[in-house]
Each structure stands twice: as C-alpha cells, then as structure tokens.
Amino acid sequence: MMRIGLLLATNFAVLMVAGVIMSLLGLDQGSTMSMLLFCALFGFGGSFVSLMMSKSMAKRGSGTQIIENPSNEIEQWLHDRIAVHAEASGIGMPEVGIFDSPQPNAFATGWNKNKSLVAVSTGLMNSMNRTEVDAVLAHEIGHVANGDMVTLTLIQGITNTFVLFFARIVAGAIAGASKNRAMQTMGYRMSSWALQALFGFLASIIVMWFSRRREFRADEAGARLTSPEAMASALERLKNPVSDRDALPEGMAAMGISPNFKSRLGGMLATHPSLDDRIAALRANS
C-alpha cells in the first residue's frame, strides 16, 4: 500500500512552494477567512496531486514491470490469486506487477479502488511459500479495499491546511512585536517558513499514527481472506531480511508491507507498527 513516503515528500515540496507563493502574492496578509481558504486550496491540492500521481510514480520508483499477459506459471498464479482476493473484496481487478529486489516486500497504490496496482518483489516470491505470499497479496488488497490512499490523502490535506494556516497566524503575532516595518516583513516571512517546517514535522506524527492504524486493518483483511496463521507466518518471515539492500528506494520505503524503517522518537515517526505488535494483534484476534 502506498503509505506516506511519496505522499510526504510531495506534500513537503508543495507546502514550501505554497508558502513562497502566498508570501509573494500577499495572500497571507488578508483576512483570516481568506487566508484559511487559500491554505486549504494549497494544502489539499498537494495531497491530491500526489494521490493522482501515486501509481505512475510507484512504477518508476520501484522499477515495477506490469504483468499484462502472464508468461509463466508464477505470473499466472499471482494474477489469479489477486483476482480472487479482489473479487472477494468487491473491488476491480488491480494491475499486477513484479519489481526486482532480493528483499521480500510488496505494495499497493492507486487513486481509485478499481484502478489500483499491486506489486511484489522477486525476493518475496523467492523467500516465502505460496501460502505466505497469498496472505501478503490479501494484505495489499485489504489496503485497496479499505480506501487507505484516499483516507490518508484527506488526512494529509487537513494537516497541510492547518500547517500553512497556523504557521502564518503565529508568525504574524511574532512579527507584530517588532516596531520596525522592514523587520516586521522580514521576520514574518522567516518565521512563517520556519514554523511551517516545525508544524509540518508535528503534523507528520499525526499522519504516521493513522498509517500504523491502517496497517493493522490491512493485516486483518489478509487474515480474513486467507487465514490468521498464514498472515502471521508471512510477517514472521519479514523479521529475517535476506539482504541489507532495501527492497524499495528510500522515498518509497513506507509503501511496502515490510516496514523497512528505523524507529525514531519512540516509534512516533514509524509508518508501520512493529512486526511483533502486528503478529500479536493477529493472534489475539484469531
């Protein structure tokens, strides 16, 4: 599932550009309501741009090869199992792809439940048995069926809006303390950009929390479509990576079923719960 990697990168760039444009055009000097409307426009705009581009960016970033006409037994099996899970979940048939990496991983992305992409790494196919791979495929279909990309995009849009808005409100209060007009203008712009970066960091903690909740739900879907034992076994397998090389580029690391992250700030910036927590949740609900 397309977690936050590309989403955050795209949104950070959009927010910074939006801040510059608003300052240059004087859009952040108007009424509070006008400022809020402009912040919402830029904030949600960045989120939906990244959502609409998610599938094409994922294909290029991971080097995924789409299976249009299965050419061997493995490709046919992947296609058939994804079709079964998609039908059981009430969504359209996703595109199916494989990307070359020794690390076991998989992801799903797309702006629409009926126009999604599910891709697996060669390492996943080589290191797991068919039952475990099937559970991973079901997990990814769960992300699509749950509408996780749209949900996270809306959450990101809301946080973007308030990052832009409150950065300017607080910056205005700080700049107002100066009696020098030139210093007010310079102080406002410098502090608004600095506060935007700070609030953006804090907002990402909220987005990451939602991402971790959605991961548990996708595990539940994987267990429901296959079995709790199969889903737990697949997650256990991910605890022993076969290579030090990342399965996905750094900017896409948050997309995969394998967390591929180093926990920071007590895990608050983690896009995925720990594998142990996910396995424990599965076993508690089985």
Active-site residues: which are they? 140
The partner residues of 65 in beta bridges, in order of sequence, read 98
- Amino acid identity for residue 190 in this structure: M
Q: What are the backbone dihedrals phi and psi of residue 72, each rounded to the nearest 5 degrees, phi first?
A: -150, 175
Name 2's Cβ contacts closer than 8 Å, sequence gap at least 6.
54, 58, 107, 108, 109, 110, 149, 255
Q: Distance from CA of residue 27 to its chain's centroid?
A: 30
**What distance in Å separates the CA atoms of residue 219 and residue 224, rounded to the nearest whole number?**
9
**What distance in Å separates the CA atoms of residue 105 and residue 247, rounded to the nearest whole number?**
6
- Per DSSP bridges, beta strands 106-109 and 117-121 are antiparallel
Joined tokens for residue 67: 């299976």
CA angle 140-15-274, nearest 5°?
35
**What distance in Å separates the CA atoms of residue 250 and residue 4, rounded to the nearest whole number?**
12
Q: Distance from CA of residue 176 to its chain's centroid?
A: 38
Per DSSP, the three-state class of 39 is helix
DSSP state of 49: H
